[in-house]
Structure 1
Amino acid sequence: MSRTQSTILWIYAVVIAIWPIRYVVLKYIFSRLQFLTPDSPTLDPTDPPLVSAIIPAKDEEASLADCLASVSAQKYPRMEILVVDDRSTDRTLEIAREFAARDPRIQVVHNDHLEPGWTGKTYVLQKLADQARGDWLWFLDADTDHRPEFLGVMMEYARSNKAEMASLLPELRCETFWEQVIQPLGGIVLMQSFPVQRVNDDRSKLAFANGQSILISRRAYDAAGGHAAVRDRFVEDIGMAYKVKNLGMPIRVAMTKGLVSCRMYATLGQLVRGWSRILYDAHDRKTWRLVVKLLDPIIFCQSGHVVLLIALVLLATGSPGPFPAWLLGLSLVHHALMYAVFRVIYNASVPRSRYTHWFPVGNIVSDLILIRAIQMCLTGRVTWRGTSYGPIAAPAADASGSPAQG
């Protein structure tokens, strides 16, 4: 074996060595995560504060009925429900009005325009927040489905942690092949950038919230400037979390089991467009940060697939010496270790996932998502849910509080 071949094997062995470390770290992180369930403590029903549930909906006819049914069925005793139809072209408005006719707590607002300088979601959220009467505002997405205990558990979680803002991470409902393969990988990219333990540490500047389920006190919302303060953000949830935490107000994030679920995107196209938009804005629209994120899977994941292919070609063509066999052996070890790590990731997002062995395909699509997010950084243009935005500048530091500061 030549000196060059030995050097290649040693470098590749170093790349492989990162995977046992990742496995141990992931298992440790997941073991420390707090999970809220329907059996978690709920807020004492004696004189509970009024909560305003705020639901933005644009072309959500497939999920809005289930969402409204689950929100209406909450055991929490004092709640109003505000739904805004944001320029929908389907039956969203009709469905919302049908529920409002049966439940006097539900108010329906129709929005037919978008003010310049706002994203569609931030504009309608601010519009509903201005009308809300609650001491607490519960922002949720129309594709979420909640157990009746949800709001009581969330309120108690905020109270017991003295949090002015709390966000619970739903379980993912993944029904198609592409959802099963891609969704867990999008989630782990966010977890790497926003570790829950650091987010929940009041001494850390790092902040995060998930717009699928956010509970925030009216006091904190107004002090942070409302959604007007993050009007141009596509991840307004993270922007708002930074605003609140920068005011010295505690925020908390927790995982859930059996308490709330969400189906984010149904098709491959929606997954690519949705996750590229999220990662673009979550990383402050900065090209270099997304390039770093892209280099990780290329160096530590895709290298294994390339090496395996090279080893097989060398063996098939009768290349002399032990180098091809060593290369093949290391590649098989690499794939086994990657599988172990991705099994932890997939099972955390989709319990008993049957799609872990498809992680190489998921990695390739994830690379394409990151490349698309980088393209957004370079052009400053984003198209989402039928609306085109851009060119868009990077968010101000006080609005996002770059995760690099955490």
Structure 2
Amino acid sequence: MLALTLLGLALAALFAGMVAANLAALQPPPRAEGALPAVSLLIPARDEAENIGAALDGALAQQGVEIEVVVLDDGSTDGTAEIVAARAGADPRVRLLHGAAMPEGWIGKTHACWQLGQAARHPILLFVDADVRLAPDAAARLAGQMERAGLDCLSGFPRQITGTLAEKVVIPQIFTTLLGYLPLPMARRSPEPSFGAGCGQLMAVRRAAYEAAGGHAAFSGRMHDGLLIPRNVRKAGGRTDLTDATPLATCRMYDTPGDIWRGFSKNATEGMATPRALPVWTLLLFGGHVLPILTLLAALIAGAPWAAGLSALAVALVYAARAAMAVRLRQSWLSVLLHPLGVLVVLAIQFSALVSARRGGQTEWRGRSYGRGGA
């Protein structure tokens, strides 16, 4: 029990320390001042009739920077294109593109974003998912931070809206991995591509850097643009960074347990769910977030006060870090309370995705089937 108790305490302390450092480093971009380069807001849309109107409202409300809004309808069957066409007829800043047939070997959203990037007219490309709602100063603050810091790519996670219990349990785990295990201060100092990270929901990139990195065509058969664009920009010699986008935008990613499972599964094998990575992530997540609870219970049952004290300290460190994240990112307190359950669900999704990939399984998304890992 001593070894497991000390292991859990060490991993919990690692997580808590990393969260503290990252929350201090991850700040929202300040209010923009002065002249800014124009921004193309690029929205890929497939069967987004319920979302696209609100997405356009937020995009067209941008202040402090010249914009255009380009929406690519990727074969929608629910009236998405008609909604955008009506808005384009009323506002010359809006353009509707009809997606071309997807070439063999491409992924749907990747192909849509590639076409948007080619059609954009302004020097900064801001890729925005259709379920993202922008604050009026979002584009200006992102462009201003890029100018101020000399960045070629700037991304951040919008505030994640979680309505159901399943959302509250699982969605915040995105930030557990990001803020708990990516050393942001080191990532800013190092040009290494492996430190590149971002969020495909809200990704700003200079046109020149995007083209130098090969754009979305550089990873045509893969899904994880949030990682691949920043890493490719770094490989091409550009500078990337993450920002706290909590005040810039909101997003409700998934609203049913099935969508959560499928959504997290569809690009799992491009992240955690690989034979090399998953054992490491299992050690970090299970060992640092679940094991201390188990050793605490075991110590209490066995009447081992020294082990109980160390395990209680580990549990307290994890919950203190999660509470700090919840305050900063405006997360549900229920997500904090149920944090260990969220970790277990995420690990279950990753193991399921890995097993499915090794069996040649498919994932369904937006009416399309993809091999695990985007193949």
In the superposition, the TM-score normalised over structure 2's length comes to: 0.88
2:259 equivalent to 1:259? no
Partner Cα distance (2:284, 2:153) in 1: 32
Q: Quick check: 1:41 aligned with 2:31?
A: yes
- Aligned to 1:82, what secondary structure does the other structure show? strand
Task: Work out whether 1:370 is the aligned partner of 2:353.
Answer: no
In structure 2, the residue matched to 1:17 is: 9
Query: Is 1:185 aligned to 2:173, yes or no?
Result: yes
Larger radius of gyration: 1
CA RMSD of aligned residues (A): 2.7
Which amino acid is 2:4 matched to? Y
Deviation string 1:91-126 (CA, Å, 9 cap, x unpaired) is 322322232222111111233642211100111111
Kindly indicate whether residue 285 of structure 2 is the aligned counterpart of residue 297 of structure 1. Answer: yes
What's 2:75 paired with? 87
Q: 1:67 to 1:199 in 2, by over 3 A?
A: farther
Question: Displacement, 1:25?
Answer: 3.5
Structure 1 stretch 93-102 or stretch 344-353: which is displaced more?
344-353
What is the rounded CA distance, in whole Å, between the counterparts of 1:102 and 1:135 in structure 2?
25
* Separation of aligned partners in 1, 2:31 and 2:147: 11
**Contact 2:15–2:288 under 8 Å retained in 1:** no
Match of 2:127 among 139, 159, 167: 139
Distance (whole Å) between structure 2 residues aligned to residue 354 and residue 221 of structure 1: 39
What are the equivalent positions in structure 2 for 1:147-296 lying under 5 Å apart?
147-192=135-180, 194-205=182-193, 206-283=195-272, 286-296=274-284
Equivalent residue number for residue 103 of structure 1 = 91
State which of 19, 44, 52 in structure 2 corresponds to 1:26.
19
Q: Which runs of 5+ in 2 are unaligned?
A: none
Give the AA of the match of 1:287. P
Shift in CA distance, 354/87, structure 1 to aligned 2, threshold 3 Å: same
Alpha-carbon deviation of 1:202? 4.4
Q: Does 1:385 align with 2:373?
A: no
Distance in 1 separating the partners of 2:317 and 2:121? 53
Equivalent runs, 1:277-356 vs 2, <5 Å: 277-283=266-272, 286-307=274-295, 323-324=302-303, 326=305, 329-330=308-309, 334-351=314-331, 353-356=333-336
**Whole-angstrom CA distance in 1 between matches of 2:185 and 2:359:** 34
Instruction: Give the paired residue count.
Output: 371
- Secondary structure of the structure 2 residue equivalent to 1:44: coil
Greater CA drift, 376-385 or 11-20:
376-385
2-side partners of 1:241 and 1:365: how far apart?
28
Counterparts in 2 of 1:114 and 1:24: CA distance versus 1, 3 Å = same
2-structure distance, mates of 1:298, 1:80: 45
SS where residue 163 of structure 2 aligns?
A: coil
- SS state at 2:156 partner: strand
Q: 1:25 to 1:253 in 2, by over 3 A?
A: closer
The range that moved more, 286-295 or 222-231, is: 286-295
Identity over the aligned pairs, expressed in percent? 27
Q: Secondary structure at the match of 1:287?
A: coil
1:381–1:392 CA contact under 8 A, matched in 2 = no
What TM-score, normalized by structure 1, do the two folds share? 0.82
Displacement of 1:376:
4.5
Amino acid at match of 1:386: G
1:376–1:246 distance in 2 versus 1, CA, 3 Å: farther
Deviation of 1:246 (Å): 0.9
Distance in 2, Cα, partners of 1:303 & 1:203: 35
Tell me, in whole angstroms, the C-alpha distance in 1 between the residues paired with 2:324 and 2:278. Answer: 24
Which residue is equivalent to 2:341? 361
Distance 1:128 1:28 in 2: 36
Distance in 2 (alpha carbons) for counterparts of 1:256 and 1:392? 27
Change (3 A) 1:340 1:89: same
Instruction: Please say if 1:127 is aligned against 2:118.
Output: no
Structure 1 residues without counterparts, runs of 5 or longer: 1-7, 316-322, 395-406
Q: Which moved more, 1:76-85 or 1:228-237?
A: 76-85
Q: For 1:25 and 1:218, how far apart are their aligned partners in 2?
A: 33
Equivalent residues of 1:126, 1:226 under 8 A apart = yes
- The one-letter code matched in structure 2 to 1:14 is L
Higher relative CO (Cα under 8 Å, sequence separation at least 6) belongs to 2
| Cα distance per residue 1:111-144 (max 9 Å; x no partner) | 3642211100111111122222222211111111
Cα gap change, 1:380/1:54 in structure 2, threshold over 3 Å: closer, same or farther?
farther
Label 1:298 to 1:152 Cα distance change in 2 as closer, same or farther (>3 A): closer
SS state at 1:362 partner: helix
Distance 1:290 1:349, change over 3 A: farther
Q: Is the 8 A contact 2:52 2:131 kept in 1?
A: yes
